[in-house]
Structure 1
Amino acid sequence: MNATPVLPTAADEAALVQRLLARDEQALRLVQERYARSLQLAIQRLVRDEVLAQDVLQEGLLKIWLSIASYDPERGRFFTWMVRVCCNHAIDVLRSPRQRFHQGNKSLEVSAAQQASSPASFNPEHIGVRELTLELKPKQREVVELLCFGGCTQVEAAEQLGVPLATVKTRARAALVALARVARVI
């Protein structure tokens, strides 16, 4: 037998909103139990990353908790309002400079992971990457050498260089931009 989920009625939603307004933490848990999966799917359609969607969902639930007083039942259902709160937050996250920076650096992490798992026959020196790194600033070059030729992750490179992880990511990103410019010239 296939059980279909029971959707909350308008009266159920109104009671839940009243409990949230009264700062009932059990009501927030109920929101998470009832709606988290649907909210996460809506968020994931925007961010296209399950881990980021989970983070945005948690932050979205906090926003719902903190801004429940702004919910107006005359303007729509509670679930619709929650989707709007979470999706607006997801858009804010995607537009944030910090997120754009991290998205750019994810490609480096993926590249390093792919390089580590690729066949031993691939060697970046075969395509002239090492020569291109000579055009980089010394601090950028040492990061690229650790990441591309030394087989280090960004975390390992940060440890070896004795600098914060964010510094390694910044130098790696700057090196990629510089290498792209050099490669276009060639």
Structure 2
Amino acid sequence: MEYAATYTEAELVHGLRARDQKIFSYLYDQYSPALYGVIVKVLNDDSSAGDILQEVYLKIWRHIDTYDEAKGRLFTWMLNIARNTAIDVLRSRSYKLEQKVQHITTAIQGSHQLSTTQPSIDHLGFSRILEKLTREQRTLIDLAYYKGCTQEEIARVLEVPLGTVKTRMRNAIMQLRNILNK
């Protein structure tokens, strides 16, 4: 559906808090492809991503009052809801660490490189940003953000000490901040 009007972030937040159906429809049309892409990336499963996307939008609708403009942008808040919901689904399906470790180890051994972006979310600019990181940093971001691994799990997967993972993760995040602030 084409909309003649566009909305500022403040108008979107105000409209959602006022339970404006038109604003909610606009939000869905504008942001669902990006949120869907994040869900698919985390789940690595197209078949259930649509259901999870609906659940994400229900959470957005129900919890818009918890959004704090001072803590970040609306889109970032929505992305975090999508990511966290997808990770919760993975955990609720009782994905065991051994399955995760085996899958990730196979990916690392098979291709010597983990993919960090999907074409469906490429328009967000993630691929260009992540390409500026080292392969090691991209792997850490992929394991932590998209696969939902804890730092302890990453240490086991990569067979490095936990302190090394923490240092490398901190360095990767600092590098991302530097890239984004340029």
**TM-score normalised according to structure 2 size:** 0.47
User: Highest relative contact order (Cα 8 Å, sep 6+), 1 or 2?
Assistant: 2
**TM-score normalised according to structure 1 size:** 0.46
